Amino acid sequence: MLKIEMSYRAILIIALLALAVWLWLKLWTIILLLAVAFIFMAALLPYVEWLVQRRVPRTASVLLLLFAILAVIAGLSALVVPAMIDEFTDLRDNLPEYARDLEVFLDNFGIEVELEERARNVDWDEIISGQAAVDYGQRIAFTVLAIFSVTVLTAYLLVDSPRLSRLIYQFVPPGREPELERFLQALSRVVGGYIRGQLLTSLSIAIFTLVVLLAVGVPNPVAFAVLAGFVDIIPIIGAVIATILPTVAAFQESPTQAIIVLACMILYQQFEDRFLVPRVYGQTLNLSQMVVLIAVLAGGQLLGITGVLLALPAVATGRVVIEYILEKRQELVTPPGPTGEPLAPDTDTKEEESGK
């Protein structure tokens, strides 16, 4: 026989854990949106406080900042979406011809492939109509709803940030307020620094892509530059997308232009990975490439593209929490060091010198 005895406290803890798991499974979408809203709040809060210090009401500051961001995103989307539709239409109508050009180009290097026949057999109706169109429509509707929800949550958090701060400090034991303040500042520095650093890297790749495509003569250079800035937000995968799409568009003009664009984009990715990112982020993230890769893969497996986007700020936040725990443990286990020489008597040196 196996006899198990449990205290009422243990039973209560297990029941609370089970309730927490059940709530997480039921409300994980809302929790995810709230986490994204907190990330944007940490990034935008310094700018809101800057406006408040200049006597702009907090609510007006938040609305002004959010409307400006949404206006920029809407304007950039208006540049990208029509151009991408035109590129897709051109690719669909002329795919066999492009495939034949690619066959001829690869044949010069001794590579024989049959691409033209495969291009003619592509069933575009199956790709862009029927169930696929319904799925894409649902994803777009869900994305729009998620963006609206995150925007509203971020606005509420920014407006109520002083009240939220007071609420958090009510649960802090007396004398521990400076410790909590340092911890929150570290979290804000990591999350907000990541967002602001990402904006700089996205702007950098957008400008570089625009210059390259204008110099080579690729159609719709502004749209591809803006798209490169958007996809650069996605770790690892974004670099591939930002390279492939302009290269495909350049190949529609000539293989030579495609090679130039591909070489320039690969060189820029090396510049961004080895020079720009370490200097933009500095010690903000302080994550190794292996940790970044594992975090991105795990986030994509768990939450798809949303998990990929949240992987780095989540891991960086976890690093701050772990460093805080280790620091507190070090303070507990490290005995105070000697204040003077090991064999010296416990007397005040200044008093002895004054006595002399």
pLDDT in tens, the chain (356 residues): 666 777 778 888 888 899 888 888 888 888 888 888 888 887 788 888 889 998 889 999 999 999 998 898 888 888 888 887 887 777 777 777 777 777 777 777 666 667 667 777 766 666 666 565 566 677 777 777 888 888 888 899 888 888 888 877 777 777 777 777 777 777 777 777 777 778 888 889 999 999 999 998 888 888 888 888 888 887 777 888 888 888 888 887 888 888 899 999 999 988 887 777 767 665 566 666 677 777 777 777 776 667 767 777 777 777 777 877 777 777 665 555 554 444 444 444 444 444 44
305, 142 in Cβ contact below 8 A? no
Residue 271 domain-assigned (yes or no): no
Q: Which structural domain, as residue segments, surrounds residue 32? A: 27-171
Give burial (CB, 10 Å; 0-12/13-18/19+) of 262: middle
In a domain, 205, yes or no: no
Give the total number of structural domains in the chain: 1
Token readout for 114 is 């049959």
Name the DSSP letter for residue 339: S
Q: Which residue in this structure is represented by tokens 């990715």?
A: 269
The DSSP annotation for 83-99 comes to HHHHHHHHHHHHHHHHH
Residue 197 in any domain: the answer is: no
219 lies in a domain?
no
**57 in any annotated domain:** yes
What distance in Å separates the CA atoms of residue 26 and residue 31, rounded to the nearest whole number? 10
- Distance (Å, rounded) from C-alpha 81 to C-alpha 223? 8
Residues in the chain: 356
Instruction: Name the residue among 6, 2, 18, 39 with its Cα closest to residue 314.
Output: 39
Q: Is residue 133 part of a domain?
A: yes
